[in-house]
Structure formats: C-alpha cells, structure tokens
C-alpha cells in the first residue's frame, strides 16, 4: 500500500505540474486555432482539483478520488469543447476565473459522495460516455487534419487507464494504470509544446517574410525616389541650360555645344547661323518691351519649326541668336538660313525681319569664339545690305 500511495503521489505531482504548464502556455502563447485554446484551458479543471487537494480544502478527499473526479470532468469537457457553446473557453476571464470557481463548487458538493459514485459507475457507462465519444472525435479530427494527434493519443490512453481500474475492480492505480497515466500526461505536454513551437516558427517565418517584403518595398521606394530625384535633377539642369523667355539654350550652353561639336568633328565640317532682329531697339522704344519680348518668343517659335532635331538653337544675348547645324556645309546652311528668314518675315503683330550671318568649321575658324566672330561679321554684312538678308563674310 505504501508503494502504491507513493506512486499515486508521484502521478499527482506530475499531473499538477503538467496541468499548470499547459494552462500557463494557453495564456502566454496566442494559438492560431481556437480549438487548441479550448483544449488547453480545459486543464484548469483538474488543476483546480489538484490544488484544492494540496491545500487540504476537501477533508477526507483521497488522491485516488482527486484523479477520478478531476480527470473525469476533464474528459467530459473535452467532448463539449467542440460545440459552439464552449466558445467562452476562448476568453481568458471565462476560462481562468469562471471555470475554476464552478469546479471548486462542484468538488465541495461531490467530495462526500465521490467514492460511492466511483464504485457504482458500471463498465458499460464508462465505454459509452467516455471511450466511445473520444474515438468518434479522434477520427473526426484525423479526417480534417487539424493539428497533431498527441492530444487524442493522450486522452485515449487516459481513458484506458480508467478501464484498467474498472477491470481491476479497484479505486487504486495499479502499475499498468500508472504507466498509462504517465504516458498520457507526457503526450499532452508534447502536443501543446509542439504546437507552440510550430506556431512560433510560423510567426518567425512570417516575420522574416514581412521583413523581406518591407525591405523590398523600401528598396523599390528608395529606387523610385532616387529616380524621381534624378529626373528632378535632370529637369533642373535642363532648365538651367535654357533661356527663361524664349526657351532656347542660353549663351553658355550653346557655346558648350559648339565646342563639343568641334571636339567630335575634328576634320568634319559644320555650320552655325547667327542672327538678330532688325531695328529691335525701334520695336522696344515705340511699342514697349512687352511687344519686344513677344517678338523674341515668336522668333524662337519659328526657329524651332525650321531647324532639324539634331540642330541646336540658343540665345546668345539680347536679340542675338545662334543656330548650330552639326552636319551642314555652307550651301546647305544657306538654304536653312533663307527658309528661316522667309518664315520670320511672315510674322505679324509685331512684324519684323532678321539679319543672318553664317560661319563654317573648319574653313572659317577652328574655335568657338572665332566661329561666332565670323558669323557675327556675316550678320552685320547682312545689315549693311539693309537687313532681312543672309550673308557670309567672304562668299556672299
């Protein structure tokens, strides 16, 4: 009897620690599946009875009766945990406050009759009320493949331990029943621990995936922002190269383009046109600077319509403009200049004409300043003809 009592006391300590661990795990770990939460919080029932026995709150309540009452209530609640009415177990207050209070009250009501009830329960009642429903629930769970099977393995083995007691006609736990109970509690612990581990790894992987997604999002956002900054920077650079009034390249930009063309061409020929508005001072003095600005804008629009895509048009200063013709010789440049002069002479409101000078690289000069100087002399030669003309310093 002493050895059996010690075995019972050892099982009691194991049961107490396992139930406490599972209940604590149900509070600390946010299980994804609500059925797992319900299962875990059911262990508050045997835990309550084990604690009451440890605190001697039930006089004359032996350890065998503690097992029988606590685990029998647990097995019955396992079945009810699958119904919608058991959803109160998913709420910590309902599971961890209400259920222990109800269990304690039930123990106080039943502890005097527990031994009599245990001895009077027939074997057939054990089979149909506990064992058979558990088998049905096990197969139902197996077909749906919800979680690992350790919980049902443990619950099934626990019911077998009671079967051993019933068949042995004893309220005490023989050695076989002890081993079955130990196995059941180990399997329960493994069930919840493995689910917690699996879900923790899942959370970790989800976190890693989220971090990767955020990194990719941040990377693409940074690349997008970098592209936007690059475009903005490029737009600023382009804007800085342009004349604010006419939209033509400014003096520095058009001179840089001519110099770059000289570096690229070396032995190849190209042309530049230089022109200004005839009697532009007269337009400003008699019609105002607003009209003068309008004339400059109209001139720029006409020039943009005459030149080709590879040509470059810039404002040299005041009413003086330069057109870079990268691949045209003198006769071809003259054709472009005449077309430009004719189009400008058709402008109305205000009406004005232009004088154009042509310079050819490398025949006339091999530097930017000399080319512009030759074109400028050609332009003033056109003015000497009365304006509205195209001239080269030497040829025509």
**pLDDT value for 114:** 66
Q: Which residue has the tokens 């840089």?
A: 256
> Over the stretch 62-72, which tens digit does the pLDDT of each residue have?
777 777 778 77
Long-range CB contact pairs, 37-41, < 8 A, 24+: 37/89, 37/90, 38/81, 38/86, 38/87, 38/89, 38/90, 39/78, 39/81, 39/151, 39/192, 40/192, 41/89, 41/90, 41/95, 41/96, 41/99
At 111 the three-state DSSP class reads coil
- Please tell me which residue, 260 or 10, carries the higher pLDDT value: 260
Mean pLDDT estimate for the chain: 79
pLDDT of residue 160 exceeding 90: no
Domains of the chain with bracketed CATH:
2-209 (1.20.1070), 251-392 (3.30.70.270)
**pLDDT value for 353:** 92
**pLDDT value for 239:** 61
**pLDDT value for 142:** 60
Q: DSSP assignment, residue 96?
A: I
pTM above 0.75, yes or no: no
**pLDDT value for 119:** 60
Long-range CB contact pairs, 97-102, < 8 A, 24+: 99/41, 99/44, 99/45, 99/48, 100/44, 100/45, 100/47, 100/48
Q: Which residue has the tokens 């004005």?
A: 352
**pLDDT value for 94:** 66
**pLDDT value for 137:** 64
**pLDDT value for 357:** 94
**pLDDT value for 391:** 93
Q: Going by C-beta distance under 8 Å and a sequence separation of 6 or more, which residues neighbour residue 9? A: 63
> Over the stretch 164-182, which tens digit does the pLDDT of each residue have?
766 655 555 567 777 888 8
**pLDDT value for 273:** 94
pLDDT of residue 80 exceeding 80: no
> Over the stretch 83-96, which tens digit does the pLDDT of each residue have?
655 666 667 766 77
Q: What stretches of 242-288 show up as alpha helix (H) in DSSP?
A: 251-265, 280-287
**pLDDT value for 157:** 82
Residue 126 pLDDT grade (very low, low, confident, very high; cuts 50, 70, 90): low
């Amino acid at each position: 009897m002493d050895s059996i009592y010690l075995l019972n006391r050892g099982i009691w300590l194991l049961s107490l620690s396992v139930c406490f661990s599972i209940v604590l795990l149900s509070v600390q770990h946010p299980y994804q599946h609500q059925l797992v939460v319900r299962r875990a919080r059911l262990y508050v029932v045997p835990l309550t009875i084990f604690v009451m026995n440890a605190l001697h709150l039930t006089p004359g309540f032996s350890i065998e009766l503690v097992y029988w009452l606590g685990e029998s209530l647990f097995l019955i609640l396992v079945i009810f945990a699958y119904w919608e009415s058991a959803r109160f177990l998913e709420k910590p207050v309902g599971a961890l406050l209400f259920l222990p209070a109800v269990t304690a009250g039930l123990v106080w009501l039943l502890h005097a009759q527990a031994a009599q009830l245990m001895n009077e329960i027939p074997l057939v009642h054990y089979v149909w009320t506990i064992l058979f429903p558990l088998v049905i629930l096990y197969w139902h769970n197996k077909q749906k493949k919800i979680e690992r099977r350790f919980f049902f393995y443990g619950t099934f083995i626990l019911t077998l331990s009671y079967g051993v007691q019933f068949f042995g006609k004893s309220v005490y736990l023989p050695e076989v029943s002890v081993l079955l109970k130990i196995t059941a509690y180990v399997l329960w612990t493994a069930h919840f621990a493995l689910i917690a581990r699996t879900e923790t790894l899942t959370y970790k992987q989800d976190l890693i995936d989220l971090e990767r997604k955020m990194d990719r999002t941040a990377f693409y956002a940074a690349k997008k922002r970098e592209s936007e900054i690059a475009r903005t920077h490029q737009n600023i650079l382009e804007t800085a190269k342009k004349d604010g009034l006419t939209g033509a390249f400014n003096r520095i930009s058009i001179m840089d383009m001519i110099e770059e063309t000289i570096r690229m061409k070396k032995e190849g020929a190209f042309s530049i046109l230089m022109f200004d508005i005839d009697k532009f001072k007269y337009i400003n003095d008699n019609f105002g600077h607003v009209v003068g600005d309008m004339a400059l804008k109209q001139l720029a629009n006409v020039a943009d319509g005459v030149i080709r895509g590879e040509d470059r048009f810039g404002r040299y200063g005041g009413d003086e403009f330069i057109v870079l013709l990268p691949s045209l010789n003198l006769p071809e440049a003259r054709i472009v200049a005449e077309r430009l002069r004719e189009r400008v002479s058709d402008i109305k409101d205000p009406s004005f004409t232009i004088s154009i000078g042509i310079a050819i690289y490398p025949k006339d000069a091999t530097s930017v300043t000399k080319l512009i100087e030759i074109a400028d002399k050609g332009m003033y030669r056109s003015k000497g003809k009365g304006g509205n003309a195209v001239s080269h310093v030497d040829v025509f």
